Amino acid sequence: MNSSTHNTARSRADVIELLRSHDITPTQQRVEIGQVLFGRAQHVTAELVMAMVNQGSEIVSKATVYNTLGLFASRSLIREVVIDPAKLVYDTNLHPHHHIYNVQTGMLEDVTAEDVKIEQLPKLPEGTALEGVDVIIRVRKDD
């Protein structure tokens, strides 16, 4: 898995600087969530982030985790990967890439953009520009 430049932020000071550079006020909860997220490239759910941040004692609420992840995604610190309408995963790897999703295990793996060839895209609606293409390859155990 490739790591993005911000994935080296580990210390509290690094996370505060990263948040400020993206016009995010570094509250205690946001910094704690950032420390969990930005230490390495990873795929996480909101529930997993909450468990990692709280480590046994409830410090950060579920609403705060969801709101913070949404804010981080809107400021391009993480990517939202919609696995299906009921499952949203947050990806700290911001380099162009795609995913393989195992529907039985729930595991999500990165696939380099170079490993997926898209020959042609449909004509875009007038007045729009391509922002990106996300491919999710769903797999299951071969019976």
| Whether 100 and 82 share a structural domain | no
- What is residue 143's three-state secondary structure? coil
| Whether 38 and 99 share a structural domain | no
Question: Mind listing the pLDDT tens digit for each residue in 25-59?
Answer: 999 999 999 999 998 889 999 999 999 999 866 68
Cβ 26 vs Cβ 16: under 8 Å: yes
Q: Which domain holds residue 100?
A: 95-139
Query: How far, in Å, CA of 136 to CA of 108, rounded?
Result: 9
Question: Mind listing the pLDDT tens digit for each residue in 54-69?
Answer: 986 668 999 999 999 9
| Whether 35 and 81 share a structural domain | yes
Query: End of a domain among 50, 69, 89?
Result: 89
Query: How many alpha carbons lie under 13 Å from residue 77 in its C-beta half-sphere?
Result: 28
Cβ 108 vs Cβ 89: under 8 Å: yes
The confidence score (pLDDT) of residue 132 equals 87
Find the length of the chain: 143
Cβ 67 vs Cβ 61: under 8 Å: no
- Beta strands 108-112; 136-139: pairing state: unpaired
The confidence score (pLDDT) of residue 5 equals 40
Q: Poorest-confidence range of 1-5, 45-49, 72-76?
A: 1-5
Query: End of a domain among 89, 104, 127?
Result: 89
At 13, is the pLDDT very low, low, confident or very high (cuts 50, 70, 90)? very high
| Whether 53 and 123 share a structural domain | no
| Whether 17 and 76 share a structural domain | yes
Strand partners, 82: 88
The confidence score (pLDDT) of residue 9 equals 56
| Whether 72 and 127 share a structural domain | no
| Whether 73 and 50 share a structural domain | yes
Query: How far, in Å, CA of 1 to CA of 41, rounded?
Result: 7
Instruction: Give the residue-averaged pLDDT of 1-11.
Output: 51
Single-letter amino acid, residue 136: I
Question: Mind listing the pLDDT tens digit for each residue in 88-121?
Answer: 999 999 899 999 999 999 899 999 999 999 999 9
The confidence score (pLDDT) of residue 58 equals 66
Number of domains in the chain: 2
Report the first-to-last Cα separation within the chain, whole angstroms: 28
